[in-house]
Structure 1
């Protein structure tokens, strides 16, 4: 009789312990900020090939200048340094700019200072521009436009690349890109070093910018 009673108490203790280890997980909701091909938004997609055709060292707005409803300006007059963009008349404070889904807009002024991203286009795989209300990281109706940058996808083969260009007003762009390729069937490493220089069209509007990009 004592053995049966002990077994019953031990079994009840195991059941109570199992119940305390149970954790209820809440549903996970995954959202995307890029509009699909069937989404009812006015949008333009730029592939890496289209980006590289216009990537001569100027800031991001001047590469997007040929897309519909986009107007750009430059403090230096040649697109290097402080630049601005408007989409359908909406200034940068109302344009949601993201890099790989991460908001780039300044948290205080809500502006987008592209001078802080020199030569980012050399590491960009694709761009989507949405005109008017669309998807954004802050809600569908939070902005009058969206610019979404996606960096270069994984390179399975090792590579080394150097790009150099020279233009008016002593504008100079130099960069090197190197990648390890697939290592151990697990990961890759990519590195870019860039330097941009220009005297600018306007007097006392020189630019001397450096940047690097690293991913693994």
Structure 2
């Protein structure tokens, strides 16, 4: 990839691949968006690379992140997950995932709910340096508040902003980053009503 990548992925091959092919790519699949929100919740207090390296383990332990399955879970599944070294073993985050699955199922379309906040078009920033990228915005505060009203947990404004960036509702690739153009192109497809993700 030519050009200067965003600073945060460094040179770790796993992180670089994630940056180059996933981060900031607009996603409209409700189930995939839900998984991303859950994983961003597990990231709270940790670095994203910690979650990324365990993502396959998370997917296996959480049975593919199917909300209809997870919504039926209770204490036996929480106990099982607390003993699983492939994931972040945090009772509060595990229990929040079950609550979030139930909240997700109570919504007609999680993807439409999120994309309506940006009128179906990714919000494009033009950060030239890492200092130009905020940790949270009015938008992430608003979405976080609405999610919590609907019963979601571990979705504060900072987690929500990271989720919006990762899911491509906000394009925060640095100006000059080669991945920026790919995300802009994918954003145009979303704007034109094509499903992405």
Q: Mark yes or no: TM-score above 0.5.
A: no
Larger Cα Rg: Structure 1 or Structure 2?
Answer: 1
Compare the two structures and name the one with the higher strand fraction.
1
Query: Scaled by the length of structure 1, what TM-score is found?
Result: 0.27
Compare the two structures and name the one with the higher helix fraction.
2
Query: Scaled by the length of structure 2, what TM-score is found?
Result: 0.28
